[in-house]
Amino acid sequence: MAILPPAHPDTAELAAGWRSAYVHIPFCARVCPYCDFAVVGGADDRMGEYIDALLAEIAMEPAWHPLDAVFVGGGTPSRIPLEHMARIVDALAGHFGLADDAEVTLEANPEDWTEQHSDGLASLGFTRVSFGVQSFDPVVLASLGRLHSPQQAAEALGVAVSSRFGSVSVDLIYGHPDETDDSWLETLDATVAFGPDHVSTYSLTVEPGTELWRQVRSGAPAPDSDVQADRWEQAAASLGAAGYTRYEVSNHAQVGHGCRYNLSVWGQGEYLAFGLGAHSYRDGVRSRRVRRLDTYIERVRSGIGPIQSSDVIGGWDAELERLMLGLRRSAGVRGGEGGTALLDSADGVRLIDAGVLEVEGDRLVAAKPLLTDEIIRAVLDLEEPAG
């Protein structure tokens, strides 16, 4: 495949045709206080039966196209022993096939990363590793409840950058009340110094039901949205100066290193999903899997399958979804019927006048990425044109 500039409209359109698969690994050493994903802490003794269920779920899925991208996310996939990971990769490759240049990503926590594990995963065919570094400030790491130190993150990145992975990515979280402007700047500088191919920067979100949410309800300081906006600007400036292109609100990459799996999801491409709480989109149907470990294993074992709910996404709903997904990208989205309706609406006119939304040729682009959610709300309110 050609080397693709991550924010180019042609890359965005090409990605819509890629076929991907997401595999969810729910196991974590313990659950971080801010985390709302489908995870289980301290339950590693259940790994074997979970992987058996995953393989059974893969085998139940009707045959499909060879996969252009696979994303093994979590939870903490780097906790899974290599022999189990080999079974997952073999099952996907055997049942669907992998494209010759498939991107195969694994999410990893720095404290798990050893040279042996790194080499083993590269030998299994993983081409990309994404580390949950979050911060290089020990105070922020402790406040986030992370188990690793800045030193461990540095060592893991050092091993991965010099190994056989085609792409190394770093996740960072900004905006914890214990973080300062200087601390964030130093985290960005330290990240850039390692030269990862891709950096994701997420603003800390207080998700309902999490430990962080309970703390904030009991009076602990919440993240400040104005501070988070400043931190986003700083990330865009520091990473831009270091040669990264921001190709989505929170994602920055070197040329040729945009995450294909994510690009395909934002392009409304189809993707399979396997595992606890995972979402798929196939044949115009979005499906969500159950989020309880016991229920997932029981339902797969009994042959019922783990789908909790499904929605057929067609017609006008599909058009609005295409806009909402695509507007998160720097390349924006082709206007089409939904774009015309947006530009004709009172909200659309207001957003254009305010310079939040721009028209670039046949595309709509969020000119102020931090206000993308405002555009998305306007899209959600659009009525289907009559006739």
Ligand X SMILES: C[S@@+](CC[C@H](N)C(=O)[O-])C[C@H]1O[C@@H](n2cnc3c(N)ncnc32)[C@H](O)[C@@H]1O
Positions touching ligand SF4 (CB under 6 A) are 28, 31-32, 35, 37, 39, 74-76, 109, 132
CB 295 → ligand SF4: shortest distance, Å?
19
4 dihedral zone (left: phi>0; alpha: psi -120 to 50; beta): beta
Contact between 222 and ligand X (CB under 6 A)? no
Give 202's DSSP letter: E
Q: Between residues 43 and 354, which has the closer beta carbon with respect to ligand SF4?
A: 43
Ranges of H-type helices in the chain: 9-15, 47-60, 82-95, 115-123, 138-143, 150-161, 181-194, 211-217, 225-241, 260-266, 293-301, 315-326, 336-344, 346-353, 372-380
CB 134 → ligand SF4: shortest distance, Å?
8
CB 130 → ligand SF4: shortest distance, Å?
11
Q: Between residues 37 and 64, which has the closer beta carbon with respect to ligand X?
A: 37
Contact between 224 and ligand X (CB under 6 A)? no
β-pair partners for 22: 71, 273
CA distances from 29 to 42, 44, 51, 68, 259 (A): 5, 8, 17, 31, 26
Q: Between residues 78 and 118, which has the closer beta carbon with respect to ligand SF4?
A: 78
What's the sign of the alpha-carbon dihedral 208, 213, 218, 220? negative
Q: Between residues 197 and 319, which has the closer beta carbon with respect to ligand X?
A: 197
Contact between 273 and ligand X (CB under 6 A)? no
Query: 340: closest CA among 315, 317, 359, 318?
Result: 359
Q: Between residues 34 and 274, which has the closer beta carbon with respect to ligand X?
A: 34
CB 35 → ligand X: shortest distance, Å?
5
Site for ligand X in 151-210 (CB under 6 A): 171, 173, 202, 204-205, 207
Q: Which does 72 bind (CB under 5 to 8 A by kind): ligand SF4, ligand X, none?
A: none
The secondary structure of 28-66 as a DSSP string is ESS--TT--SS-EES-GGGHHHHHHHHHHHHHHSPP-PP
Give 213's DSSP letter: H
CB 146 → ligand SF4: shortest distance, Å?
7
Site for ligand X in 68-97 (CB under 6 A): 74, 76
Q: Between residues 146 and 299, which has the closer beta carbon with respect to ligand SF4?
A: 146
Among 31, 35, 242, 343, binds ligand X (CB under 6 A): 35
How far apart (Å, rounded) are the C-alpha atoms in residues 222 and 228? 11
Q: Which does 205 bind (CB under 5 to 8 A by kind): ligand X, ligand SF4, none?
A: ligand X
Count of residues interacting with ligand X (CB under 6 A): 15
Contact between 147 and ligand X (CB under 6 A)? no
Q: In what order do the strands lie in the sheet with 363-366?
A: 333-334, 363-366, 357-360
How far apart (Å, rounded) are the C-alpha atoms in residues 321 and 266? 10
Q: Which does 31 bind (CB under 5 to 8 A by kind): ligand X, ligand SF4, none?
A: ligand SF4
3-state secondary structure of 257: coil
How far apart (Å, rounded) are the C-alpha atoms in residues 174 and 195? 19
Q: Which does 204 bind (CB under 5 to 8 A by kind): ligand SF4, ligand X, none?
A: ligand X
3-state secondary structure of 86: helix
Contact letters for ligand X, residues 104-133 (x by CB under 6 A): ---x-x----------------------x-
- In the complex, which residues of this chain contact ligand X (CB under 6 A)? 34-35, 37, 74, 76, 107, 109, 132, 134, 171, 173, 202, 204-205, 207
